[in-house]
Amino acid sequence: MALLMNPLSNLETYDISEDLGFILEDPLEELPDPYQPWIRLAKNLPSLIDDQQLRDEVKKLPELSICHLQGHKELRLAHLALGCITMGYVWEGGDKDVTQVLPRIIAVPFCEISKKLGLPPIMVYADCVLANWKKKDPSGPMTYDNMETLFAFPGGDCSKGFFLVSLLVERAAASAVKVIPDIFDAIINKNCNVLKEGLRTVSSSLREAEQTFHLVHEYVDPIDFFKILRIYLSGWKGNSLLPEGLKYEGVWNNPRKFSGGSAAQSSIIQCFDALLGIQHGSVHENSSAQFLQEMRDYMPPSHKAFLEAVASGPSVREFILSSKDADLKKIYDECVRALVDLRNYHLKVVAKYIIIPSSQLKNNANRKEVKEDEEKGTGGTDLMSFLKSVRDTTKKACL
């Protein structure tokens, strides 16, 4: 009989940290000298955009080859900086003056770096959340008060709050990612006690993630988010302001469509769906499943590979369904309920930060024209119906 191997025995293979999960550990803050103009521009985004000077400054940038960028962390910082500059360049004029062409001075290096990293040439969640942080006191704890983002957008501290709270939610869920290899070992070895322990860690970690999510109300103002920050997170797929997409000058002849940054690009929740065997329908028939699958292409390839390894590994759900241990089923259901509650909380946050501010603008003269995009997510989805759909299919997974 063939010996079963644990496909996830080494998390480092997937660029996953035991302490931080999918978060990039100790991101770099600076690039080698030739690339400092990118960093300077990205650091000054809020004032340049407020003064309507970013597009002019981009045109003054030197044309740079990416050949002197070395190692994963330099590439990640370059992708983050160029991603922020790209969002600022496209949306500097708000919805009244949207540029349809990204100049080659940014487009060419951005696309080359993206190709090396296996990411699309747009600011993704792995940029603005997972790689956009530093500690104020390097020896201090990873708490909101001891952290700062590397780059921000207009709207005061709104982007700092949004990105760092998202990061802390990731951090809270990291302890559950760490036990996934143990859970697989337990199934391979039919060890119910170790499996129960692992699943308890998953449910308590998801509960902690939900509690951490509450910080959003303290640090992110709904009106600032809706009226200012949101546009800088918006992409050019499913967006009526850029129906054809964005032209990447010097790279492609035709415009390309890419989704904006979205929580669906976080590997965390998709990882627990895969672990618990929660199906959101067929990718061919169901738009929620299709969108979640598409969002995997916006994750670092090693993280996407991890999700695929979890999904194709020993089935936790089938093992528990075939078990006569009622306690095991109960603990599994606790994990599912914790995931449902996290998704429910996300719905409440979306209502407060997008749906309610949108309805408050009903007297706006252009209401009919802009409503189509107002209640969409930054990833381009019909937000509430997407979130309710994945919440409901998660509920159905309870045993």
Instruction: Say if residue 147's pLDDT is above 70.
Output: yes
DSSP state of 355: I
Average pLDDT over residues 181-204: 96
Give me the chain's average pLDDT, please. Answer: 91
Instruction: Say if residue 68's pLDDT is above 50.
Output: yes
pLDDT of residue 283: 60
- 283 by Cβ neighbours in 10 Å (0-12 / 13-18 / 19+) ranks as middle
**Which CATH number applies to 22-396: 1.20.58.480, 3.40.605.10, 3.30.9.10, 3.40.50.10190?**
1.20.58.480
Task: Give the percent of the chain with pLDDT over 90.
Answer: 80
Task: Give the percent of the chain with pLDDT over 70.
Answer: 92
What does pTM read for this prediction? Answer: 0.93
Average pLDDT over residues 214-239: 95
pLDDT of residue 379: 44
How far apart CA 71 and CA 77 sit, in angstroms, is 10
Average pLDDT over residues 1-10: 65
Q: Tens of pLDDT along 242-257?
A: 999 999 999 999 999 9
Confidence of residue 285 (pLDDT cuts 50, 70, 90): low
In angstroms, the Cα distances linking 181 to 52, 175, 316, 320 are: 50, 12, 12, 17
Q: Tens of pLDDT along 44-63?
A: 999 999 999 999 999 999 99
How far apart CA 363 and CA 352 sit, in angstroms, is 19
DSSP state of 248: E
pLDDT of residue 371: 46
Residue 225 and residue 166 in contact, taking contact as beta carbons nearer than 8 Å: no
Q: Which residue has the higher pLDDT, 219 or 362?
A: 219
The answer to whether 346 is annotated as binding is yes
pLDDT of residue 4: 61
Instruction: Say if residue 158's pLDDT is above 90.
Output: yes
In angstroms, the Cα distances linking 31 to 36, 75, 86, 99, 151 are: 6, 9, 18, 28, 14
Q: Tens of pLDDT along 319-339?
A: 999 999 999 999 999 999 999
